[in-house]
């Protein structure tokens, strides 16, 4: 699989260089708790991790938003933390609170990269199942968490407001952080390659906490590892399509795009649309950037924000999406309203 069979999949055409109107649309966390069918399937699975590792059920929840909204892309239902879990770190999820991990000790780092892919076989099977059930017109996206974002959880043992434990470790034990980055880069290359070979059309690298770093840290822990992952995956899967999402990157976006070589970059809702249009979109396709809160509130504010994104970014390559994932209190009606507004936008 060389990643260059586009067919009728509109999202892939944008990644390959076309500007389409109206733009393709999908939504981060589109399979999730805001959907009653997801909640019913989740109840059958037991724990959240059990759902991630159950190919039949994970396939079902991946397809649910496609059936309901007809998005242009499905994204594999899983979690970024299956990678450290597969490396041997203890991971579990607390209902209503989120993930918990047994924090790694950088002074005696014990992970098991050789056992990564065998432990992730159920996830790779899910990719194959999804592709077999999707229509020819719908793209399939795989993903992984970026090394820096994984490190923030692996060191702190949970999400933290300012990523202070990981940032402190970067200063206190730079060699230990470098060893952990190397492990995660290699594991990410293996994992994303397996997803592409199993049927994913493109993969996205989520760097949720990229914005927590200063200039030096951003280059060292966001740009450089992502560049290595992109190059490593493309060495094994020539032409592999890859999307980066460095949330909170702001003014670092142009450098991130130029130096990593991604085919598209996700834009969070805090980014200036004029800056994105003028400094980022000439370099690559952009994806985003509706504030997920609009899918809670809806109404004319939702319409106006959709229109603003289309107006500012519609003359270039655009994949319409959110600036982060939909929240559990997002409204199904508002999602339908958003998709309809994008697809019936006036011709440019």
Q: Write out pLDDT tens, residues 21-80.
A: 999 999 999 999 999 999 999 999 989 999 999 999 999 999 999 999 999 999 999 999
Assess if residue 348 is contained within a domain. no
Number of domains making up the chain: 1
Nearest CA-CA partner of 214 in 252, 179, 169, 185: 252
Q: Write out pLDDT tens, residues 117-152.
A: 999 999 999 999 999 999 999 999 999 999 999 999
Q: Are 26 and 40 in contact (CB under 8 A)?
A: no
Domain range for 95 is 10-343
> What is the chain's Cα-based Rg?
19
Assess if residue 163 is contained within a domain. yes
Peptide bond into 29 cis (omega under 30): no
CATH of the domain at 138: 3.20.20.210
- What angle do helix axes 147-156 and 224-236 make, rounded to 10 degrees? 120
Assess if residue 40 is contained within a domain. yes
Q: Is 184 left (phi over 0), alpha (psi -120 to 50) or beta?
A: alpha
Cite the active site residues: 29, 33, 42, 79, 153
Assess if residue 267 is contained within a domain. yes
**Model confidence at 341: pLDDT above 60:** yes
**What integer pLDDT is reported at residue 303 of this predicted model?**
98
Residue 252 DSSP class: G
Assess if residue 2 is contained within a domain. no
Average pLDDT, the chain: 96
Is 189 exposed, middle or buried, given 0-12, 13-18 or 19+ CB atoms closer than 10 A? buried
**What integer pLDDT is reported at residue 4 of this predicted model?**
54
d(CA 106, CA 286): 36
d(CA 202, CA 143): 8
Q: Write out pLDDT tens, residues 178-235.
A: 999 999 999 999 999 999 999 999 999 999 999 999 999 999 999 999 999 999 999 9
**What integer pLDDT is reported at residue 309 of this predicted model?**
98
Assess if residue 193 is contained within a domain. yes
Assess if residue 32 is contained within a domain. yes
Assess if residue 252 is contained within a domain. yes
């Amino acid at each position: 699989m060389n990643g260059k069979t586009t067919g009728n999949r509109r999202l892939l055409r944008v990644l390959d260089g076309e500007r389409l109107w109206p733009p393709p649309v999908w939504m981060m966390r589109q399979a999730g708790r805001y959907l009653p069918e997801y909640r019913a399937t989740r109840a059958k699975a037991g724990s959240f991790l059990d759902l991630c590792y159950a190919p039949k059920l994970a396939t079902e929840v991946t397809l649910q938003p496609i059936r309901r909204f007809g998005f242009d892309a499905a994204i594999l239902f899983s979690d970024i933390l299956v990678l450290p879990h597969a490396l041997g770190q203890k991971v579990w999820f607390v209902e209503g609170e989120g993930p918990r991990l047994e924090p790694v000790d950088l002074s005696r780092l014990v992970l098991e990269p050789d056992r990564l892919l065998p432990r992730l076989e159920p996830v790779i099977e899910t990719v194959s199942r999804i592709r077999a059930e999707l229509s020819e017109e719908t793209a399939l996206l795989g993903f992984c968490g970026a090394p820096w974002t994984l490190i923030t959880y692996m060191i702190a043992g949970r999400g933290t407001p300012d990523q202070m434990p990981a940032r402190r470790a970067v200063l206190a034990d730079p060699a230990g952080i470098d060893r952990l980055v190397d492990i995660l880069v290699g594991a990410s290359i293996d994992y994303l390659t397996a997803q592409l070979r199993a049927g994913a059309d493109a993969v996205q690298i989520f760097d949720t906490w990229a914005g927590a770093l200063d200039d030096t840290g951003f280059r060292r822990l966001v740009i450089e590892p992502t560049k290595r992952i992109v190059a490593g995956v493309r060495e094994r899967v020539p032409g592999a399509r890859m999307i980066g999402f460095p949330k909170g990157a702001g003014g670092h976006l142009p450098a991130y795009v130029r130096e990593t070589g991604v085919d598209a970059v996700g834009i969070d809702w805090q980014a200036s649309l004029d800056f994105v249009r003028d400094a980022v979109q000439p370099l690559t396709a952009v994806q985003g950037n509706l504030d997920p809160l609009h899918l809670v509130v809806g109404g004319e504010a939702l319409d106006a924000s959709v229109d603003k994104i289309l107006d500012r970014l519609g003359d270039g390559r655009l994949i319409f999406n959110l600036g982060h994932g939909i929240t559990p209190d997002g409204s199904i009606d508002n999602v339908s309203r958003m998709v309809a507004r994008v697809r019936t936008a006036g011709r440019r």
